[in-house]
Amino acid sequence: MNPFDTLCGTGFAFTLNNGEPLGGTYSGNGVINGVFYPSIVGDGTHNITYTYSNSNGCSDTSSRNLIIIPSNLAGTLDIIQQPCAEGGVTLYANISGGNGFLSFLWNDGAIENPREYVQEGTYSIMIRDSKNCILELGDIEVTEEMDCFEIPNTITPNSDGKNDTWNLDFSSYSNLNLEIYSRWGRLVWSSSELIIHWGGIDMTGKSLPSGTYYYILDLDNGDKSQTGPIIILK
């Protein structure tokens, strides 16, 4: 069996292993193709059986209990739609209870909470406290219409080789129109290139003064669009 017989709370599914001799199969409630799914069976005592058959057709089984006790962790997985300039789609696991430090693991491997600029997809999260009690939350879906690009909002074009240009890569799209305006609404720069390296210049090549400017991004003829600030610091 895996190196534990008791779980606190129902976390992500895991592969059963360490059966001897190697090459046998696992069965029992919540077991599918050698993987145990705690969320299927829930709290309680669950009997898991390991069966091994040799080349002569002889077989034997061994069983043991895997116990899931209730976790005192509780919470909700919330989705917050903010303006693209302020984080876009944010997912937040709002947790109460538990003991000590909490760790977070999303189904795509991310570990931060909350998460900003979440892209299209279905998400769930496993929360673990310092005593290895677990709470799983999800699934929650982010649709294509909801997500935003995570775009840097500050450049420092002072020729020191650090953050001198605004670098954007939209090469996975077919066409682009990017316009940058001053705070008074004057168009100062535009581009239709899918890969952008903008150094804070206007359309004549002159350096723009420090300040806050605003971009309008349009991709694939309006299929995807976004607006936000771009700050020049010198």
Structural domain boundaries in the chain:
6-69, 74-142, 154-232
Average pLDDT of the segment spanning 20-33: 93
150 in Cβ contact with 116 (< 8 Å): yes
CATH, domain range 74-142: 2.60.40.10
How are beta strands 6-8 and 59-69 bridged, if at all?
A: parallel
CATH T-level assignment (fold) for domain 154-232:
Immunoglobulin-like (2.60.40)
Token pair of 20, please? 């001897």
pLDDT digits (tens, 9 = 90+) for 45-98: 999 999 999 999 899 999 989 999 998 999 999 988 877 767 788 999 999 999
Q: Contact 5/65 with Cβ under 8 angstroms?
A: yes
Q: Residues 170-196: pLDDT tens digits?
A: 999 999 999 999 999 999 999 999 999
pLDDT of residue 83: 75
Domains 74-142 and 154-232 share a fold: yes
